[in-house]
């Protein structure tokens, strides 16, 4: 059976290629850890991919800002229909429509049992934590494809209760695989509660998801900062205040909005390719967001950091940043007793509750992030448009099931 997929083809390039149809065994290939080759996956299922989204963290790889090998099949935001069930799968059934957490987790290790599924100890021989189609994450084949293998299916998959209802809301539900839980996790980690004032750095899809998450948690004011006017307009479309950081330090604009130059909660939805503020807005300064969040978050507040930071960045501006070392004003954070929460979102901690919010019309996340379905063959254009800064979240539709 054919299986087209999107692969990284070198800095600035992606290609749609033919790859093998999945089997219940990990094969060798670009990015696959040698210790995972030959690993049996009888606990897995094969999905017919209904939706697989282009993510900002994919863009880091495509820009050549990681050590991702050429030929790596991309895609960790997956929603699909079960078409084959492995021998050891007990509860997931053929025909179910399911959301796939981007974290691959075994359900058996200490971290999984403590709901820390973003740092599972058993699925990646290199380090804790794994994901589909991502550099240094064990080599599990990505889901920007027609078909994909999902391991530990009984544990990992979130089946939707009604397939027809789910297809009606599939553009919302596809956000459950990553950005909605990730943004929500940023808001939870930052301590957002009823009446909070919140500043979110970054108006890309994760920042917008964090904004909606903060609204769900009862924030009084949600402020989103960015350099991109179109993305700031998208944030305002669902009730956020905005700050244009190209005009200078966000603290001054926050004071104009709130009457004080600080917020209760800060969220970094930018990550390691951050730029400066004001006259330095076109210069990459990877510590800018974290340092500004420490400045504007009140003493005793918290910083949720769902923005991606890496240990290897060959395109960084200096030697330290190439290894993930940033010039942080950590003394300021210490003096203000800030809490910092970093790392991959443990998607399974949130996705069922957020699914319920979507199904019961409490969270129109697709509208908030301007979800836009495109054919799999249009993936190179989608990557290029997303990289140019358009205020859209591109959803790949391999089988035409969304558009039909």
Pairing of strands 221-226, 297-304: unpaired
DSSP type of residue 80: E
267 neighbors 199 (Cβ within 8 angstroms) = yes
User: What pLDDT, on a 0 to 100 scale, did the predictor assign at position 374?
Assistant: 97
Hunting for tokens 């130059």 — which residue is that? 261
pLDDT for the residue numbered 320: 83
**pTM recorded for the entire structure:** 0.96
CB-CB contact of 97 with 81 (8 Å): yes
How far is residue 391 from each of residues 63, 246, 290, measured CA to CA in Å? 19, 17, 23
Q: pLDDT value at position 229? A: 96
Task: Determine the pLDDT at residue 280.
Answer: 78
Domains of the chain and any CATH numbers: 4-178+346-396 (3.90.180.10), 180-341 (3.40.50.720)
Strand 97-100 relative to strand 158-159, pairing: antiparallel
**What is the rounded distance in angstroms from the CA atom of residue 180 to the CA atom of residue 357?**
11
User: Contact 43/105 with Cβ under 8 angstroms?
Assistant: no
Closest CA to 306 of 173, 222, 214: 214
Mean pLDDT in runs of 10 for the chain (404 residues)? Answer: 94 96 95 93 98 95 92 97 98 98 98 97 95 94 98 98 97 98 98 98 97 98 97 98 94 96 97 84 85 97 94 82 88 97 96 98 98 97 95 98 85
Helix (H) or strand (E) holding 301: strand 297-304
């Amino acid at each position: 059976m054919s299986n087209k997929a999107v692969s990284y083809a070198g800095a600035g390039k992606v290609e749609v290629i033919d790859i093998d149809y999945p089997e219940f065994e990990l094969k060798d290939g670009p990015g696959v850890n040698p210790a995972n080759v030959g690993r049996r996956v009888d606990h897995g299922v094969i999905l017919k991919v209904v939706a697989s989204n282009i993510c900002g963290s994919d863009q880091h790889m495509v820009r050549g800002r990681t050590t991702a090998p050429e030929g790596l099949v991309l895609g960790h935001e997956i929603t699909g229909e079960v078409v084959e069930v492995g021998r050891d799968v007990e509860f997931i059934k053929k025909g179910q429509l399911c959301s796939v957490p981007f974290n691959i987790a075994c359900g058996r290790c200490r971290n999984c049992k403590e709901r820390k599924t973003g740092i599972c100890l058993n699925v990646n021989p290199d380090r804790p934590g794994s994901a589909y189609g991502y550099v240094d994450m064990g080599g599990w084949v990505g889901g920007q494809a027609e078909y994909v293998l999902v391991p530990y299916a009984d544990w990992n998959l979130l089946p939707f209760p009604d397939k027809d209802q789910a297809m009606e809301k599939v553009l919302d539900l596809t956000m459950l695989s990553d950005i909605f839980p990730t943004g929500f996790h940023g808001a939870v980690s930052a301590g957002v509660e009823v009446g909070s004032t919140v500043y979110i750095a970054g108006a890309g899809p994760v920042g917008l998801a964090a904004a909606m998450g903060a609204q769900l948690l009862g924030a009084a004011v949600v402020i989103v900062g960015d350099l991109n006017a179109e993305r700031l307009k998208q944030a305002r479309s669902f009730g956020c205040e905005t700050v244009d950081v190209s005009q200078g330090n966000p603290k001054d604009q926050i004071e104009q909005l709130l009457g004080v130059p600080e917020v209760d909660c800060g969220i970094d939805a930018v990550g390691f390719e951050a730029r400066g503020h004001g006259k330095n807005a076109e210069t990459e300064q990877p510590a800018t967001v974290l340092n500004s969040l420490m400045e504007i978050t009140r003493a005793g507040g918290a910083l949720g950091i769902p923005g991606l930071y890496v240990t290897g960045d060959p395109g960084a501006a200096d030697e330290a940043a190439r290894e993930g070392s940033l010039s942080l004003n950590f003394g300021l954070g210490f003096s203000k007793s800030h809490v910092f929460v970093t790392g991959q979102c443990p998607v399974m901690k949130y996705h069922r509750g957020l699914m319920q919010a979507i199904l019961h019309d409490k969270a129109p996340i697709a509208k908030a992030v301007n979800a836009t379905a495109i054919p799999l063959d249009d993936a190179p254009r989608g990557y290029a448009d997303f990289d140019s800064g358009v205020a859209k979240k591109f959803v790949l539709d391999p089988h035409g099931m969304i558009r039909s």
